[in-house]
Structure 1
Amino acid sequence: MNCLFLIAGTVHFLCLVSCDGGNILVFPVDGSHWVNMKVILVELHSRGHNLTVIRASNSWYIPEQSPLYTSITVEMDESMEDFFDVYLDEQLRREGASFWTFLKLTTHFLSMVSKAHEMWAEAFIKIVEDQKVLQSILDSKYELMLTDPAMAPGLYLAKFLKLPVVLNVRWITSGEGHFVLAPSPLSYIPVPGSGLTDKMNFIQRVKNFLFSTIGLVQQKVMVEPSYFAVREKYFEGRFDTISLLQEADIWLFRSDFVFEYPRPTMPNVVYIGGFQCKPAQPLPADLEEFVQSAGENGVIIMTLGTLVNALPADLADEVARVFAKLPQKVIWRHNGATPSTLGNNTLIVDWMPQKDLLGHPQIKLFVAHGGTNGVQEAIYHGVPVLGIPLFFDQYDNLLRLQDRGAAKILELSDLNADTFEQGIQEVLHTDSYRMNIQRMSRLHRDQPLAPMDQAVFWVEYVMRHKGAPHLRTEAYRMPWYSYYSLDVLLLMLTVLTALIVSTLCVFRFLCCRRRKNSKAKQN
């Protein structure tokens, strides 16, 4: 009898956890964003889901052929890679941290963003105007749109196809996603790019407020005009990109509150920070031999991300000179010319198994640019960071680690042999850096459910229930004056004013009547 109950219980459990494969339409963003999206796609594919990925014909990272998915390729005449290379070159010139340099880079960045949205708005039009492609999409009967909202075409296509939406998100068209979804008091929530923490004095709060206007300007001036023609031609009713974001069913947010500052949030936000992190796998034999040869001194690894192949030659020479003086072994991802000052202790590689190296007990320090993936992996494996931020969110990512005593930031404009060596020695030989990052690692790992399992559960949840409107706030349907209760405040002020005026009129009437009575008696 007990055996029968066990068999019945096992069958019942398998029925509960299994999920019939569904059809998912995926509209990713290229570059490092695709690296994150692909991790989720691998897991969804392993669970039997059918995936279709929309990609540009000149995509950097997204291949047309893949065992994970079928693809829909949209012809693109221009590549964002060309615009980005120019922007990256300007960043690496190290022109200093002056206001004019900041203004120049910000203007260039916003122009690049505007151009990207124009290109993808045109891509949306190509998709819906191509009857063969559109009919193929309709025939596939997709159950869900999984998209990265750093670019907006996935949102518009989901609305056109009337599909539920799951966002793989931290960044949206105008900054960080929380700011359009949840209450975000600027008094203690730092705007990305401001370089501030959640502890701000008055001047810093002024700065934070001013930085928040950059996002508003970017959305209104650089983003919305790109999709105006799309809204006018293919949709009815008045809406904008922000309202499409707010209508999304689930936000898979690539962050968590071990990394992020505490803040208000919403029930349809699922925090999956570190979802790409896994226990380290064995290193290739030659790399393992190099790592073990370091002995008790350990190993330093350095990479500035997939988008930065090499530092300028003069700076690379200074970095190599510092590495050559260290007792540690160094593994450095560097695709440029070999520095003339390269030491015997430094191994230059075109690619490194970053996750597996960070999980190796010999790794003592991670010299990194502060990209989201690298920061989350450093937290997961408990490796202190010397950060050299280059652009986008990297400074803010590293600032969160530095604020918790787990990293030190060295700005590119200040980078030279002396500052680099001082930074390495400080992080290597100050025990608090390793202790703090390892504490963050313990907190991050102490979860009831792995971040990837949460991500897949909520994707399948939306598919099972054909959306999750019960988790969405009604705030996005309200006009701004209702959201801030200005109409209620106006009514209350009107009533209060009316009461005060009425009371004054009554008193005035009584006073005048009393005077008349007094005069009448005197007469």
Structure 2
Amino acid sequence: MSVCRQAARQWSPFSLGNMPLYRVCGIFALLSVGLISFTPPCDGGNILVFPVDGSHWINMKILLEELHARGHTMTVIRASTSWYIPEKSPLFTSITIELDEALEDFFELYLQEHMRLQREGGSAFAFFKITKDFMSMLSTAHLMWSEALGKILDDKTMIKSLMDSQYDVLLTDPAMAPGVLLAKYLKLPLVLNVRWITSGEGHFAIAPTPLSYIPVPGSGLTDKMTFMQRIKNLFFYSTVVIQQKFMVGPHYDAICDKYFEGGCDVISLLQEADIWLFRSDYVFEFPRPTMPNIVYIGGFQCKPAQPLPADLEEFVQSAGEHGVIIMTLGTLVNALPKEVTDEIASVFAKLPQKVIWRHKGERPSTLGNNTLIVDWMPQKDLLGHPQTKVFIAHGGTNGVQEAIYYGVPVLGIPLFFDQFDNLLRLQERGAAKIIQLGEVNEHRLEQELKELLFEKCYRENIQRLSRLHRDQPITPMDQAIFWVEFVMRHKGAPHLRTEAYKMPWYSYYNVDVLLVLLTAVAVSLYSVFVLVRCLCCRSRRKPKTKQH
């Protein structure tokens, strides 16, 4: 027997000299127990979650799924009229708050009126009507949630239960502010899953925002603005400030005055948040100033595509070399007006590509055999399929980030909110085309689709964005989880917060310093002037000496 084999036999764990096998097994069992007993414990955190319903819940749920997989316990506060947030879930326990009105019905009425006005054209009247209806809808939604928060704070039993639960952190979407105020009341560290705040985009509340090159959402501008465009940008910023000051803020100010000693205001509370998990990144966003407690997690919901269901895969493969077009307008829009859907279906019928279309309305009369109508589609798995050539979408944040991740050019039909601005960012980078709802007709739609299908630059540009987005040392999801757990471990992250929010506006902009310096200069100049004047007067009054 070779030396190597002899050594191996001597050191074999099943020999250990002449020791019987059962004793060897016993020793290994004891060692295993000992190693397990010395492994440091990994205790999950206790998280209170106050989400926003609708499409915002989709990305919040993805974050909760990952937190649940990491061993954290979660409690979700939901409305009794919730669209998507279930009362029972394996991910979390829930606390249900009674709301007097269903937000889904309220939003549906607004959406139908909004699409009708868009189809009428871009008149000044339509613009102001859309703006007024939008502000009115937001004000009503914030009023409902501020009243719901008042009910929570008045319920002493619920408040005691929340305090006794000893939560480590409150995670909320600040598009609605009750979660922000509740964190303040319960004295909990606050993490925001954010892109939108009560009025406008989150950066405008926390980071320096020069309006000369940072476009205000809704303005339809880029970071390259002419003089007239800067005036337009300032106008849109003014509407956001007015909206917060007079239509949204007063609802929460009433809560602050009633329940918080010394009062408070929503914007300051947002600025006090420990971490902002920001659903964007600089592959998508225009470069701008930021802050150390903003963590960019754009595309955190994306992951490699999974295989399609067998019937859908068969349909996709039947497209052959022509490929597939997919169309969906998000969770909030089930169908466009009938005349629009007929025009869209007519264009699809002419194409050699196969089409998968999420559509819940009346079946279009012009539908072709190449188009599959579905109530739901595995959007991410279809976008990640090599056969998918174009994504027709409304331009929601989730869909745009997924298009970037999977590298599929976009034909955008923006409907409301931030959708036009999202699509504009892709169009500026040569990765998308935009058609306004009022401009959708057979000729225009067919022209734009063929350009996206046959001009290689669009696919090349979106795939370049995809490579940039994926080239990160840590995935956006891992970033998000790390910072939630960081706040739990350290009971907050005050060292990352700016003190600017505690400063009055005249100190923030150094108006007081400027006034003092100007006063000092003015006093100095005046003193010199007085001194010179006195010397001149003395010289004039000095008597002349007589000459003999």
Question: TM-score with structure 2 length normalisation?
Answer: 0.91
Q: 2:309 aligns with which of 280, 284, 295?
A: 284
- Which amino acid counterpart does residue 21 of structure 1 have in structure 2? G
- Which amino acid counterpart does residue 325 of structure 2 have in structure 1? I
Structure 1 unaligned segments of length 5 or more: list them: 1-6
CA distance in 2, matches of 1:434, 1:132: 57
Aligned to 2:496: 471
CA drift at 1:232: 1.8
CA drift at 1:520: 2.9
Question: TM-score with structure 1 length normalisation?
Answer: 0.96
Matched, 1:520 2:514: no
Matched, 1:72 2:119: no
CA drift at 1:15: 6.9
CA distance in 2, matches of 1:130, 1:183: 39
Q: 1:207 aligns with which of 222, 225, 232?
A: 232
Q: 1:411 aligns with which of 429, 436, 439?
A: 436
Which residues of 2 match residues 35-50 of structure 1 at below 5 A?
35-50=58-73
CA distance in 1, matches of 2:254, 2:205: 23
- Which amino acid counterpart does residue 280 of structure 1 have in structure 2? A
Aligned to 1:3: none
CA distance in 2, matches of 1:35, 1:15: 36
- Which amino acid counterpart does residue 503 of structure 1 have in structure 2? V
Which residues of 2 match residues 453-464 of structure 1 at below 5 A?
453-464=478-489
Q: 1:401 aligns with which of 426, 449, 468?
A: 426
| Count of aligned pairs between the two proteins | 512
The one-character-per-residue Cα deviations of 1:247-285 (angstroms, maximum 9, x if unpaired) are 000000000000001000000000000000000000000
The one-character-per-residue Cα deviations of 1:418-452 (angstroms, maximum 9, x if unpaired) are 11111101111111111110000000000000000
Distance 1:15 1:487, change over 3 A: farther
CA drift at 1:158: 0.6
Structure 2 unaligned segments of length 5 or more: list them: 1-30
CA distance in 1, matches of 2:141, 2:397: 21
Distance 1:44 1:489, change over 3 A: same
Matched, 1:241 2:263: no
SS of corresponding position for 1:172: coil
Matched, 1:506 2:531: yes
- Which amino acid counterpart does residue 365 of structure 1 have in structure 2? V
CA distance in 2, matches of 1:251, 1:505: 57
SS of corresponding position for 2:166: coil
Q: 1:53 aligns with which of 76, 88, 98?
A: 76
CA drift at 1:178: 0.3
Contact 1:166–1:252 at 8 Å: present in 2 too? yes
CA distance in 2, matches of 1:227, 1:64: 26
CA drift at 1:122: 1.1
CA distance in 2, matches of 1:111, 1:506: 63
CA drift at 1:99: 1.5
Q: 2:335 aligns with which of 296, 307, 310?
A: 310
CA distance in 2, matches of 1:65, 1:498: 72
Aligned to 2:521: 496
The one-character-per-residue Cα deviations of 1:205-250 (angstroms, maximum 9, x if unpaired) are 0000010011101111111111232112211113200000000000
CA distance in 1, matches of 2:443, 2:375: 26
Distance 1:127 1:507, change over 3 A: same
Contact 2:349–2:371 at 8 Å: present in 1 too? yes
SS of corresponding position for 1:365: strand
Q: 2:139 aligns with which of 108, 111, 114?
A: 114
Q: 2:320 aligns with which of 274, 277, 295?
A: 295
CA distance in 2, matches of 1:411, 1:381: 24
Contact 1:386–1:424 at 8 Å: present in 2 too? yes
Which residues of 2 match residues 336-485 of structure 1 at below 5 A?
336-485=361-510
CA drift at 1:376: 0.3
Contact 1:42–1:68 at 8 Å: present in 2 too? yes
CA distance in 2, matches of 1:499, 1:512: 20
Contact 1:368–1:388 at 8 Å: present in 2 too? yes
The one-character-per-residue Cα deviations of 1:376-434 (angstroms, maximum 9, x if unpaired) are 00000000000000000000000000001000111111111111111101111111111
Matched, 1:198 2:223: yes
CA drift at 1:19: 4.3
Deviates more, 1:170-179 or 1:82-91: 82-91
Over the aligned positions, Cα root-mean-square deviation in angstroms equals 1.6
Q: 2:194 aligns with which of 169, 172, 185?
A: 169
Distance 1:15 1:402, change over 3 A: farther
Aligned to 2:350: 325
Q: 1:85 aligns with which of 103, 108, 130?
A: 108
Contact 1:87–1:105 at 8 Å: present in 2 too? no
Contact 1:25–1:52 at 8 Å: present in 2 too? yes
